[in-house]
């Protein structure tokens, strides 16, 4: 473990201790479009009860995935090789999953299947982030999905969408939401995603 990582973990100790103490729902399955769900689970010290950890999907594919979750979870992956992409990529029927933080395709699929088996359909929490070309139509489509517990982090306030959550300071120059897992500064243990009360969200 490098010095920087140890330093960050020490800075986060009080925050994580406080959040873990308040968390009642420790078996939630967080289905996320990118690493946000995995980072939240890690900080709260709960098991990864979802396959969407250390990976990402583009907005259209993620919405397809959520629209027919049972179908896609039952399918097998085909390995894809994309020019300029150094990490594993898998095709799930007609959607692509980018295994950003895995070394091999085999490792990624093993973890996917292992975590698929842990999903609790009665305790689902769905998260999406407005980036990678996510449009206003995608935000509206997300809002219509039949999930009780859902949130989409947007690049600006979207008052007509009750599931949209805007964190000031997280809009990038190209209009996307920045990486919410990033820290807010060099000498802080606070991530941007901490501006969202995800403990209360998971507690329902």
Residue-wise pLDDT tens digits, 11-34: 999 999 999 999 999 999 999 999
Q: Which residues contact 136 (CB under 8 A, 6 or more apart)?
A: 158
pLDDT band at 187 (very low <50, low <70, confident <90, very high): confident
Higher pLDDT, 3 or 97: 97
Q: Is 30 exposed, middle or buried (0-12, 13-18, 19+ CB in 10 A)?
A: buried
Kindly state the average pLDDT of the residues 75-90: 96
Residue 8: the pLDDT is 86
pTM for the structure as a whole:
0.94
Mean pLDDT of the chain: 96
User: 49: closest CA among 122, 114, 145?
Assistant: 114
Q: How far apart are CA 191 and CA 170, in angstroms?
A: 11
Q: Are 41 and 118 in contact (CB under 8 A)?
A: no
Q: Give per-residue pLDDT as tens, 41-73.
A: 999 999 999 999 999 999 999 999 999 999 999
Residue 6: the pLDDT is 87
Tokens 């000031």 appear where? Answer: 168
Kindly state the average pLDDT of the residues 165-183: 96
Question: What does the DSSP assignment read for 19-87?
Answer: HHHH----S-EEEESSTHHHHHHHHHT----SS-SS-B--HHHHHHHHHTHHHHHTSPPEEE--TT--S
Kindly state the average pLDDT of the residues 81-90: 95
Kindly state the average pLDDT of the residues 91-112: 98
pLDDT band at 1 (very low <50, low <70, confident <90, very high): low
Q: How far apart are CA 56 and CA 133, in angstroms?
A: 13
CA 75 vs CA 2, 4, 110: distances in Å: 38, 39, 14
Does an H or E element contain 195, and which?
none
Query: What whole-number percentage of the chain has pLDDT above 90?
Result: 92
Q: How far apart are CA 57 and CA 97, in angstroms?
A: 5
């Amino acid at each position: 473990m490098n010095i920087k990582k140890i330093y960050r973990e020490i800075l986060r100790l009080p925050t994580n201790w406080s959040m873990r103490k308040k968390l009642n729902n420790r078996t939630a399955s967080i289905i996320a479009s990118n690493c946000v769900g995995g980072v939240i689970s890690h900080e709260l010290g709960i098991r990864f009860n979802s396959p969407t950890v250390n990976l990402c999907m583009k907005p259209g594919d993620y919405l397809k995935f959520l629209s027919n979750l049972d179908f896609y979870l039952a399918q097998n992956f085909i390995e894809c090789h994309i020019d300029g992409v150094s990490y594993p990529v898998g095709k799930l029927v007609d959607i692509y999953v980018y295994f950003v933080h895995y070394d091999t395709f085999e490792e990624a699929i093993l973890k996917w299947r292992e975590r698929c088996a842990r999903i609790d359909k009665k305790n689902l929490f769905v998260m999406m982030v407005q980036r990678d070309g996510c449009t206003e139509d995608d935000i509206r489509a997300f809002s219509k999905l039949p999930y009780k517990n859902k949130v989409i982090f947007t690049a600006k306030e979207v008052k007509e969408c009750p599931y949209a959550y805007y964190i000031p300071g997280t809009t990038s120059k190209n209009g996307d939401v920045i990486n919410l897992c990033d820290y807010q500064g060099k000498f802080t243990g606070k991530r941007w995603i901490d501006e969202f009360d995800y403990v209360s969200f998971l507690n329902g």
